[in-house]
Amino acid sequence: MNEQQAIAVFQLQMRNENAEMRNIKAYLVLENGTIFEGEGFGARGDVTGEVVFTTAMTGYLETLTDPSYCGQIVVQTFPLIGNYGIIPSDFESAKPALRAYIVKHPCQAPSNFRSEGSLDAFLKENGIIGLCGIDTRALTRIIRQSGVMNGKITASKPTERDISEAKAYRIENPVALVSARMMQDKTIPDCTTNTRTLASSVALMDFGAKRGIAEALMERGCGVRTFPHDAKSGEILKMNPDGIVLSNGPGDPSDPSNKGIVKTIRDIMQSGIPVFGICLGHQLMALASGYATKKLEFGHRGANQPVKELSTGRVYITSQNHGYTVISDNSSFINVNDGTCEGIDYENSFSVQFHPEARAGPLDTGFLFDRFIERMHTYASG
């Protein structure tokens, strides 16, 4: 078979796959009764979850594998998804935790030398139901106007029972579902290749940590020991770390299932060791310090969220994925769009609502890892 024949066979295969996908009718029914008719792809079946949208234009692989989406049906506002295929080295966790995935146009013929497959095949392999061909712009407007709500994707014409099931859905103890099961060590890299910092040991509390957090620390000469969400303060402090990072994760920070975590964080902060909270870690750190949290109308999800550092007046573009915010009159960063808290400074610790490691997104705030390491060195030097 020559090159032209191979291309022809490939194009025929893609046309057949696209035709097969278009023949699978599927529906999204929201808890308010709104119904969208589209086509199913990925895994087959019915699924219920909280419907949220992300405005990121790239980084769909990081979105698919971000554990913070546990329990949610994710809508991509950017219409063309899957164009550069599936690249395992870009994953933020071993497998996706989201409930389902909604896009306008999924690409069935990705073009990328790093690609190892199509979006459709990846969703099938991981048991994730996909829905395409609906008006994702109209769906996003409904969520923006009415707030985040539950929904159900079904292969059958929706009924009142489907609406009732959507209304009744609750995300149960999501942090436990995505946290590491046991303590894990990351090797300290060769510091001769990194002249910015000396090697430090960091304890990472995993509430659904993106891989990029540990890698950002390791790139700066840190050894990282990951602890599961239910590790006690005594276990963590026994390691004698130079600093402690509280990771991102899914769900409501004030959920009763997180009470033990909040107590552990409170004990850790009283030890005096520098702590750096990210996303859910920021929220749990605030709860441990006496602040409160509340649910946002439709959350901040995407790679284009502007935040302002109040001490300098400088605005950074950030990557975010959260549905709750801290209620604080002592913010170090605020969201430029709605004025909500995006960070808090403590005595020798700090936290931010956004993702300084990005993955995917702008790298504007990567300097916060350097700031954390400086605080570790200051603390270690007495």
Lowest model confidence (mean pLDDT) among 10-14, 39-43, 310-314: 10-14
Round to whole Å and give the CA distance between 243 and 200: 8
What pLDDT is stored for residue 218 in this prediction? 96
Indicate the average pLDDT of the chain.
92
pLDDT digits (tens, 9 = 90+) for 137-189: 999 999 999 999 999 999 999 999 999 999 999 999 999 999 998 888 875 54
**Mean pLDDT to the nearest integer, 252-271:** 97
Round to whole Å and give the CA distance between 304 and 310: 19
**Mean pLDDT to the nearest integer, 29-52:** 97
The pLDDT confidence band at residue 194, using thresholds 50, 70 and 90, is very low
What pLDDT is stored for residue 197 in this prediction? 44
Note the pTM of the prediction, 2 decimals: 0.91
Choose the catalytic residue: 31, 39, 165, 357. 357
Indicate whether 9 pLDDT > 80: no
What pLDDT is stored for residue 57 in this prediction? 92
pLDDT digits (tens, 9 = 90+) for 43-88: 999 999 999 999 999 999 999 999 999 999 999 999 999 999 999 9
- Domain 3-170 shares a fold with domain 176-380: no
**Closest C-alpha among 85, 54, 77 to residue 134:** 77
**Mean pLDDT to the nearest integer, 269-282:** 97
Indicate whether 196 pLDDT > 50: no
Query: Is 235 one of the annotated active-site residues of the chain?
Result: no
**Closest C-alpha among 281, 269, 295 to residue 207:** 281
Round to whole Å and give the CA distance between 366 and 356: 5
**Closest C-alpha among 228, 209, 227, 205 to residue 321:** 209
Second-level CATH architecture of 3-170 = 3-Layer(bba) Sandwich (3.50)
Query: Is 107 one of the annotated active-site residues of the chain?
Result: no
Choose the catalytic residue: 70, 107, 279, 341. 279
Identify the CATH number of the domain defined by range 176-380.
Answer: 3.40.50.880
What pLDDT is stored for residue 190 in this prediction? 45
The pLDDT confidence band at residue 381, using thresholds 50, 70 and 90, is confident
Per domain, the residue ranges of the chain are 3-170, 176-380
What pLDDT is stored for residue 7 in this prediction? 52
Neighbours of 68 (CB within 10 A): 30
Indicate whether 241 pLDDT > 70: yes
Query: Is 105 one of the annotated active-site residues of the chain?
Result: no
Residue given tokens 């870009």 in the structure block: 90
**Mean pLDDT to the nearest integer, 109-116:** 93
How is residue 256 written in tokens? 């009763």
Give the CA angle between residues 346, 347, 351 to the nearest 5°: 25
**Mean pLDDT to the nearest integer, 263-290:** 98
**Mean pLDDT to the nearest integer, 318-337:** 97
